[in-house]
Amino acid sequence: MRPAALAYVNNLTSLVYHLLDENDRYWHNDLIPYNEVWIKIGGDKGGTSFKASFQLVNTNKPNSVTNTCVFTVFEAGDSISNLHIALSRYSSEIETLSLSKWRDKQIRIFISGDYEYLCRTYG
């Protein structure tokens, strides 16, 4: 293991609520329950860096780069130990978010990524 550059958001919960408040136009189209907000949290290694991000799924184009918010990035491989170092700080925040509401809508969290990332994340 060697030192590597790491950048991260200090308060993920505040960032999520800020983007929900800022982006107050949500799409349901009878596919997502009206009383729920779906948030997809994922990660991906590309080139020499790993990025963890979230997307507000209740939007017209949830996979668009304009609906993606990177909350941590580091210059290293996505080994289990690197993921633990970078992402463990968010465990309690993600759990709290998944039990909370925004306005009158229950927040639902989904983890996404390729098979390798999901295996490394879940164990």
Q: What are the pLDDT tens digits along the chain (123 aa)? A: 678 889 999 999 999 999 999 876 677 777 888 899 999 999 999 999 999 999 999 888 888 888 899 999 999 988 999 999 899 999 999 999 999 999 999 999 999 999 999 999 887
Question: To 5 degrees, how large is the angle CA 119–CA 121–CA 122?
Answer: 70
- Rounded to two decimals, the pTM is 0.88
* CA separation, residue 29 to residues 32, 61, 66 (Å): 7, 13, 20
What is the model's pLDDT at position 17?
94
**Euclidean distance between CA atoms 95 and 24, whole angstroms:** 23
Q: Which of 23, 87, 102 has its CA nearest to residue 55?
A: 23
- Are the CB atoms for 13 and 79 separated by under 8 Å? no
Beta pairing partners, 112: 42
